[in-house]
């Protein structure tokens, strides 16, 4: 537990350090990196007794030194290439804030294409799973299990190649629609009818991920929307403006909305758990550093070419 406390103190210090030298930009890479590790370490501290965590100082030193190098690298980049530390940050004076226009007929065709592909994917899942299940949730869960088995044993047939190829266009169209819709919203040129079409395309792009019983697609889309908003807002208002406090409010509000939704969506996807919401979220947020600690304590034997770079660095640094 002492090592975890030391680690979170190091992470908080490095966050404050990077926040100051990034001109109070909480979305800078080093700030975001520190925030992610602070969240992970915090949830690990909350589960010290439940998980019987015996965090080693070697892992603390490895994570702390890695964060330090990352923070210093960004500061060096800003100092040498951006000139931000000398007040020479280039500010774009003019920016075209007109609406990005895509003809409604093209958007309607894209929606129709996505609907057809998603329907074919659903039909393929039902055909592969077989049986006579009572609801779609059961099919999604069964298909997820079959997909996991196919990765382990290479003996389960999953959806065919053409469907998987077309699904890439569905997912890509969702990210494209999300960016255009977000930009038009930030520039305040959004038309409701057009924005509704973009929203439909985004929702359709999320369905394939949900059909496999997973929710990673929703998390990736949420992260993309945050980045889109950050870029579009600065392009319109200037890169010398500060958006940090607004992002802190958005982040806190989103966490208390998304975390429960992430947990309670299990039943909708045909999955279930006896764990509490705190335990379930902790598994996602804190297990990474705990598994890293276990790996460093007892690494998996590796006989492949090159071995493990992490273990070689650990031996070299005498950790």
pLDDT class of 6 with cuts at 50, 70, 90: very high
Q: Phi, psi (5° rounding) for residue 109? A: -65, -40
pLDDT digits (tens, 9 = 90+) for 175-224: 999 999 998 888 887 788 889 999 999 999 998 888 876 777 888 898 89
How far does CA 153 lie from the centroid of its chain? 28
21-31 mean pLDDT = 84
Q: CB of 141 within 8 A of CB of 213?
A: yes
* Domain definitions of the chain by residue range: 2-90+287-297, 104-238
pLDDT tops 60 at residue 86: no
Q: What would the pLDDT profile of 35-44 be if each residue is shown by its tens digit?
A: 999 999 999 9
Neighbours of 317 (CB within 10 A): 11
pLDDT at residue 85, rounded to an integer: 45
The residues, any chain, with a CB within 8 Å of residue 25's CB and separated by 6 or more, are 19, 31, 242, 243, 244
Residue 154 CB coordination number (10 Å): 7
Buried b (16+ CB within 10 A) or exposed e, 234-253: bbbeeeeeebbeebeeeeee
Question: Mean pLDDT for the chain?
Answer: 79
User: What pLDDT digit, counting tens, does each position of 261-306 carry?
Assistant: 777 766 666 666 677 778 888 888 888 888 888 888 887 666 555 5
Contact, 102 vs 197, CB < 8 A? no
Give percent above pLDDT 90 in the chain.
24
List, for residues 114-173, the tens digit of each pLDDT value.
Answer: 999 999 888 887 777 776 666 666 667 667 666 654 544 443 445 667 888 888 999 999
Going by pLDDT thresholds of 50, 70 and 90, the confidence category of residue 14 is very high
For residue 88, what are its two tokens?
């020479």
């Amino acid at each position: 537990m002492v090592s975890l406390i030391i680690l979170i103190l190091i992470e908080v210090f490095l966050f404050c350090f990077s926040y100051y030298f990034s001109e109070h930009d909480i979305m800078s890479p080093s700030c975001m990196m520190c925030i992610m590790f602070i969240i992970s370490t915090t949830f690990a501290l909350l589960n010290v007794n439940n998980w019987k965590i015996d965090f080693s100082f070697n892992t603390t030193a490895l994570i702390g030194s890695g964060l330090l190098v990352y923070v210093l690298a960004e500061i060096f980049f800003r100092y040498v290439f951006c000139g931000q530390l000398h007040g020479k940050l280039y500010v774009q004076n003019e920016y075209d804030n007109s609406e990005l226009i895509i003809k409604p007929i093209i958007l309607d065709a894209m929606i129709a294409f996505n609907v057809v592909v998603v329907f074919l994917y659903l039909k393929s899942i039902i055909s592969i799973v077989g049986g006579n299940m009572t609801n779609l949730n059961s099919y999604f869960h069964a298909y997820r299990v079959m997909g996991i088995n196919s990765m382990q044993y290479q003996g389960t047939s999953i959806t065919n190649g053409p469907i998987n190829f077309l699904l890439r266009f569905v997912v890509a169209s969702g990210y494209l629609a999300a960016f255009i819709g977000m930009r038009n919203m930030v520039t305040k040129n959004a038309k409701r009818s057009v924005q509704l079409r973009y929203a439909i395309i985004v929702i359709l792009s999320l369905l394939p991920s949900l059909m496999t019983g997973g929710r990673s697609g929703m998390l990736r889309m949420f992260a993309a929307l945050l980045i889109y908003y950050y870029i579009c807002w600065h392009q319109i208002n200037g890169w010398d403006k500060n958006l940090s406090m607004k992002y802190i409010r958005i982040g806190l509000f989103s966490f208390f909305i998304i975390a429960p939704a992430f947990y309670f969506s299990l039943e909708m996807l045909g999955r279930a758990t006896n764990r509490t919401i705190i335990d379930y979220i902790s598994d996602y947020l804190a297990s990474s550093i705990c598994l890293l600690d276990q790996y460093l304590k007892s690494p998996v034997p590796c006989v492949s070419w090159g071995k493990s770079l992490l273990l070689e660095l650990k031996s070299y640094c005498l950790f």
